[in-house]
A = this chain, B = another copy of it.
Amino acid sequence: MSIGKTVWAIAEGYIPGRSADESHEMVSHETACILNTNEVPANIRITLYFADRDPVGPYEVTVGARRTLHLRFNDLAQPEPVPRDTDYASVFVSDVPIVVQHTRLDSRDPNIALLSTIAYAAG
């Protein structure tokens, strides 16, 4: 089964620079949850857009066949880390159809807040 689209966009992006709890589980983070239902790996190129400078990328990630990857933007390193406390947006281009959902856990205060939305399926 092959579900989804090959181009996705998330217009919202913001990793809070502070966290009341720095554990991996509870640190403030943004996630792109990617589902690859195909029988082959999904090779994905991510470009980040900013308010006041040129886009950065591509970041390259692979999601195995019939696997999900909950990718933390916090963990992106090449070509450069994602700056904290900075507005950004992201575009995903995959070689096979995928599904992308966006989630943020904000732990700037000890009582966490969550948001999530399906990303925009562009094509």
Query: Which residues of A approach B to under 8 Å, CB–CB?
Result: 1, 3-4, 7, 9-14, 25-26, 31, 33-37, 49-52, 54-55, 66-70, 85, 87-89, 91, 99-104, 106, 108-123
Contacts and interface: CB of A to CB of B under 8 A. Distances in A.
Identical chains in the assembly = 4
Contact of A68 (B25, B89, B120, B122): B89
A67 B55 CA distance: 7
Contacts of A101: 10-12, 117, 120
B115 A112 contact: no
Contacts of A33: 11-13, 87, 89
A104 B5 CA distance: 25
A9 B37 contact: yes
